[in-house]
Chains A and B, each alone.
Chain A
Amino acid sequence: MEKTDQEQVAPEQQLTGAKKILSKLKQLVRPTGNVHEQRLRRKMKLTSLITRRLTLIKTAMFVIGYLWMVLLPVPQLGRGTFVDENALQPGQVNTQWNWGDVHAADLYLGQLEQMRDVNYTSERRAEWFKEQFSKLGISASTQNYHFQTSAANMTGTNAYAVISSPRNPGAEAMVISASWLSIIDEGAGTVNIRGVSMILALAGFLKRYSYWGKDIVLVISDGYLDGMQAWLSAYHTPSQSGLTADRLEIPSGVIWTALNIDYPGHSFSHLGVFFEGLNGRLPNQDLFNSLNRIARYTAGVPVVLYDHLDPREDSAADVSFSRVPSFLYNIQFVKSYLYQARNVLRHFGYQYNGRGSGVHGLFHQFRIDAITLFAVPATGPHGFHALGRTIESTLRTMNNLLERLHASFFFYILKEPTWFLQIGLYLPSAILISAAMMFHGLSIWVDAGWMKDDRSKSNEKSLSKETPAPEPEWKRRQRPVLDVLSIMAATHVVGLILFGIISSRLFISNYKNLGQPLFSILTTAPVMIIMPLASQQMFRKDVARRATILKAFNLCFASTVISIITVLNFSLAALLAILLGVPLVMSSSSLQTELPIRMIKYTAYAFIGLGWLLFAQTQMAQAIWDWQILSVWFAPFVCIVYAPLVLQAGISCLI
């Protein structure tokens, strides 16, 4: 009997259980009662859930963000490259470049070597180039330029020629260029001698064919970056202060794509590709992918990033770092990781300071997709023949374009020639850190608006001590926003003045001596000004401390800056996330800490923010040069945005 009873009960219970779940579900889907009230309650529930676990969420975001950055080179992360634009049709043509053309290049090379050895002036050299172009029946000209800024005083002469499209009006153009100085050591003095001979030989070769749908502009620019910058400025006629350059006599169309040739050595083993442009811009990936395909399958030349040979393919490059034990290095994963990390770091190095990796980068400011082909110096096996075929086929591909490159990726990190990270795979790392900073700043801001009420505490004490956990009473308090904002504005004004000083002729001409005094003045001045002010402050319970508010604003502002920079220049954003993320969160505003400790903290921030005045003086001078000649905004950004942000954190430790 009992058994049967149980049996009868059990299904009933089940039924009620099921009913409960059903009714709960029903309530979820179609709530009864006041909908608005429920919505508000739901919201409050969610808010309290987040605020209760805020510390955990913040920490998790920081940890994941930094970990993500470390994991970027993991070989499994990313996807293979592919050619997206239909019109390109890369590598589908027979190339006509032959040994006769190679011979022509060799002849030019011989003459160029003579010119190099007798030290021709730029002007004479350019005249000679013009003469050679004219001999081939191509309209050519030269362009004198002169840069006169506080950081630079350069003169040079470019030579250029235009092969007009035989059967088209020439509304569009593509550029093949070579700078006189090679990319090796960033224009330190190696002459791009074979690159220039290649351009001359190509001129004679390309003219023979009638299928060019675009004008071909051949440019031999003087110097390393300066010549091309002057030529491009004159071509697109924006007025650049400090530059006086001749007008270009031979007009051509809108430039869509450009190839820069860099071939300084005797022969080469791989074609290295440099692609980073000014201010963190990247060329459309289709250009790189097309070239990669063409070089590999048409000319049989392996393509690498920069001059990094793949240790998994080339035994010459398969050398373990001294710090990595060989048994660890021989694991395929570690080897791939290290190789990709090397590429990613090189990319970061070129991108964060906005300078780009070569002459091609100058094209990007005019929305021209350009890359540099670097013939990685080696004893063999490739030479003019392979390079010529690659360039010819790439030009045919560029010639097929019907509109600007737009289909493929503009945001990417190339980890290998055929493997890259899309924006979605690297952007979140910096964004997570920036979001964590924002959360932290907001929580400080909210907390600063409340204080515990002392009176209620005393009441509690007098009433009964047994009350286990009396709820503390919270009261609103004032937050001194205006004071803090003026402090922040002051730091940015200081940054502006700093930028004015370091870009002045006086400072630039002997920055090595002036760096140290400037650093000391800038770091001590806030202490001198702020400390007396800080001591004047009344420690009132009903007004939040300035330091707290300053920290909150500082964090929120820094977070915003990082988020914005991520899409403009991810490498810079990542660097900011590392330099600002945790340090800014660590800045303390408590009064309990001793003054010496606070001073030490302040000094640390001063070094983070302005240490470059002492330790990175050449880079600083370089950044000023970049700003004045190439309009790279890295230097003003550091002075006006970055350094003040760190100083604010330091100041919040003092007051």
Chain B
Amino acid sequence: MGQDFFEKNTNNGSGSTHTNNWAVLVCSSRYWFNYRHMANALGMFVPSWRYRHFVTNLLCKPRYRTVKRLGIPDSNIILMLADDASCNSRNKFPGSVYANPGRHLDLYGDNIEVDYRGYEVTVENFIRVMTGRLMVILVETFIDEEIGRHDPSVPRSKRLLSDERSNVLVYMTGHGGNEFLKFQDNEEISAFDIADAFEQMYQKKRYNEMFFMIDTCQANTLFSKLYSPNIFAAGSSGLDESSYSHTNDNDIGVAVIDAFTHYVLEFMEKINKTSQVSMQELLLCGVGFDLPIKYYQMVWGSGRRAAASAHDKPDSHYHFDSIDPAKINSNPGYRYDLFKRPMDKTLITDFFGGVARVEVNPPTVSSTEPLYVDELDDGAELHVNKSVTSKHAHEESDQTVSRLLFWLHSPESKRTRAWASIGLIGALIGWVLAK
């Protein structure tokens, strides 16, 4: 019963089992005329800002800070920007990056922490960040666990320190083509590279669930090779399609944001930390998603609808038009076959919102004891396991204590205590009555 109670509280009813959120936001292209890609990535950085209406922007500052405090913390966001548009000599507004004409919100303004900048943004570094092999030290004397760990000299802010209970958002933008994304001006990451990196992450238990979003030309081809479980992917355009920019600022003189990202962010405006909007509403609007096919183009708009007319639902399902192919001139696509949870139960905040949840596990020390018995004959392994388990046990007891302490201060515990005292009083009354 206690277990049920905890599950009900920790999962927000969405069925997600994650306890923390991470985000890797990558802008892979250089140069001044790719300003919009930097703005895309920076826009994603704080996904719930209001950036369209001036009036709402008057309220923006406090809201922005709140969101940032309650959302994914900076330390959990790896931001990779291949160029520095804010400091480009052509920037009329030095030190600022804007994503909307009229320049209402400076994306670069408050406390932006770019973890990888300029020429640090390479395919290799991206893969190393994802797989946690920032500096591989293969020293034979290290025990297995140490292999593949970060070089201690790499600061924490540059590492993706996720675990098997982390929900990871990966957002990439840049110039791409069929199954590749260009990095800087000299190399590409292929769809296979991404798929293999994610598989390594899965094997190394670096994520619980992953949301892979990409805005580039022929974006949907980039997630076509994924094969690891629990990944949901969305892209801005299909094979042989270009992704287009959304709008220009005539003082900056270049396009400031891409269409797909713009509409995603505009949709995100409606989301706050406690919102219960599902991923289905963001990306699968109006299309039944229990289709037997693997992945397909989204089919909105008059011209495109025929393709999915069989799965069309009444117009009430089009209640928002966050990503309309007619508006962005490309067919955004998604892929959910690797994902286990139902889309309508998966919340947007599962990936975009920052959650630091505490989970209380029943003591598990007893469950590890049979290990000793099972593997007695193997001396070496026994030794390793012994050290590991004892370390684990030690850590876990530490953790349990800290978790309990934390839990005692949480509002949930207050409620629990209230119920417990009511129960106690009830029991006392019952006992008195029974007497």
Contacts and interface: CB of A to CB of B under 8 A. Distances in A.
Contact of A211 (B31, B33, B90, B250): B90
A400 B92 CA distance: 12
Interface string B87-100: 01111101000000
Contacts of A402: 31-33
A92 B89 contact: no
B248 interface: yes
A94 B92 CA distance: 12
B33 A86 contact: yes
B89 A87 contact: no
Contacts of A213: 32, 88-90
B89 A167 contact: yes
A89 B33 contact: yes
Interface string B352-390: 000000000000000000000000000000000000000
B94 A210 contact: yes
A82 B254 CA distance: 18
Contacts of A94: 250-251
Contact of A92 (B32, B88, B92, B253): B253
Contacts of A211: 89-92
Contacts of B91: 211
B33 A165 contact: no
Interface in B180-218: none
A517 interface: no
Interface string A163-190: 0011110000000000000000000000
A295 to B, nearest CB: 17
Query: Which of B33, B91, B250, B253 has the most C-beta atoms of chain A within 10 angstroms of its own C-beta?
Result: B253
Nearest to B252: A93
Interface string A74-98: 0000000000001101001110000
Interface string A206-223: 000111110000000000
Contacts of A194: none
A87 B32 contact: yes
B264 to A, nearest CB: 24
B14 to A, nearest CB: 43
A399 interface: yes
Nearest to A214: B89
A168 B253 contact: no
A396 interface: yes
B367 to A, nearest CB: 60
Given A92-B254, A93-B253, A94-B251, A87 B33 contact: yes
Contacts of A89: 33, 253-254
Interface in A371-415: 396, 399-400, 402
Contact of A93 (B31, B88, B89, B251): B251
A187 to B, nearest CB: 36
B133 to A, nearest CB: 33
Contact of A399 (B31, B90, B94): B90
A94 B253 CA distance: 8
A247 B353 CA distance: 65
Interface string A400-436: 1010000000000000000000000000000000000
Q: Is the interface of A mostly helix, strand, loop or mixed?
A: loop
A165 B89 contact: yes
Interface string B225-250: 00000000000000000000000101
Contacts of A212: 89-90
Contacts of A210: 92, 94
Interface in B147-161: none
Nearest to B90: A213
Contacts of B248: 92
A87 B94 CA distance: 19
Interface size class of B (residues with CB under 8 A): 10 to 19
Contacts of A399: 90
Given A86-B33, A89-B33, A400 B90 contact: yes
A210 B254 CA distance: 17
Contacts of B254: 89, 92, 400
B33 A400 contact: yes
A529 B89 CA distance: 71
Contacts of A400: 32-33, 90, 253-254
Given A92-B253, A94-B250, A166 B89 contact: yes
Contacts of B92: 209-211
Contacts of A168: 89
Interface string B17-37: 000000000000001110000
A365 to B, nearest CB: 29
A433 to B, nearest CB: 43
Contacts of B253: 89, 92-93, 396, 400
B51 to A, nearest CB: 20
Nearest to A298: B250
A590 B40 CA distance: 80
A479 to B, nearest CB: 58
Contacts of A396: 253
A378 B288 CA distance: 66
Contacts of A86: 33
Nearest to A396: B253
A93 B250 contact: yes
A166 B254 CA distance: 20
A95 to B, nearest CB: 9
A167 B253 CA distance: 17
Interface in B4-62: 31-33
A159 to B, nearest CB: 27
A307 B404 CA distance: 86
Query: Which of B33, B89, B91 has the most C-beta atoms of chain A within 10 angstroms of its own C-beta?
Result: B89
A212 B251 CA distance: 13
A167 B84 CA distance: 14
Contacts of B32: 87, 213, 400, 402
A89 B250 CA distance: 11
Contacts of A93: 250-251, 253
A396 B91 CA distance: 11
Contacts of B89: 165-168, 211-213
Interface in B75-108: 88-92, 94
Contacts of A167: 89, 94
Nearest to A169: B89
A407 to B, nearest CB: 13
A165 B89 CA distance: 8
Query: Which of B31, B32, B248 has the most C-beta atoms of chain A within 10 angstroms of its own C-beta?
Result: B32
A211 B33 CA distance: 14
Contacts of B88: 213
A89 B32 CA distance: 10
Contacts of B90: 211-213, 399-400
Contacts of A92: 248, 250, 253-254
Given A167-B89, A212-B90, A400-B254, 12 more contacts: A92-B248, A92-B250, A92-B253, A166-B89, A210-B94, A211-B89, A212-B89, A213-B32, A213-B88, A399-B90, A402-B32, A402-B33
9 contacts: A87-B31, A89-B33, A89-B253, A93-B250, A93-B253, A165-B89, A167-B94, A168-B89, A213-B90
Interface of A: 86-87, 89, 92-94, 165-168, 209-213, 396, 399-400, 402
Closest 3 CB pairs of A and B: A167-B89, A93-B253, A168-B89
